[in-house]
Amino acid sequence: MNAETIIAIRRQSKRSPKYWLKAIFSLGIWLIWWRNNYLALTNRALVRRKGVFVKYERAVPLNRVQDISISYGFIPRLLGHGDIRIETAGTEGTEIIMNDVPDPDGFRSLIFEEIDVFYSDDNGIPEKPKSGA
């Protein structure tokens, strides 16, 4: 009884060079999108920027911020992510929405701290030394 034994098996690869070029290109586009999709806090405003080919930017002065809401989904909350919604004076509805932000509570605290500095007596700017005798 002669039994055949398999020495080696080769399968055709489904990953052609075209596949890898598409994957690298897609990852590059995603990386460019990710780098251009952010919510920045400055000492004067909140700036929402997004877009790769078509740019969108919205700046809201800190003195117009009325409410900062955070919402969590079940899985994002386990990962420490949430959605931030910023409402401002003089407009109806939500002015800025940023989805899937890591540590949204910490970011909201930073915004409130910066608003406090903005409204402080010296406006966050150190006093100039007095010149004279």
pLDDT at 125: 55
The phi, psi pair for 67, rounded to 5°, reads -150, 145
Of 92, 89, 110, which Cα lies nearest the Cα of 39? 110
Structure tokens given for 51:
């877009």
Is residue 86 within 8 A of residue 112, CB to CB? The reply is no
pLDDT at 6: 76
CB atoms < 10 A from the CB of 49, how many?
14
Look up tokens 């999709």; give the residue: 37
pLDDT at 133: 47
| Burial class of 131 by CB neighbour count within 10 A (0 to 12, 13 to 18, 19+) | exposed
What tens-digit pLDDT sequence spans the chain (133 residues)? 678 887 787 777 777 888 889 999 999 888 888 888 888 898 888 898 888 888 888 888 888 888 889 998 888 888 889 999 988 887 777 788 888 888 889 999 999 999 898 888 555 455 555 555 4
Structure tokens given for 108:
């909201």
Is residue 114 within 8 A of residue 41, CB to CB? The reply is yes
Please give the model's pTM, rounded to 2 decimal places: 0.66
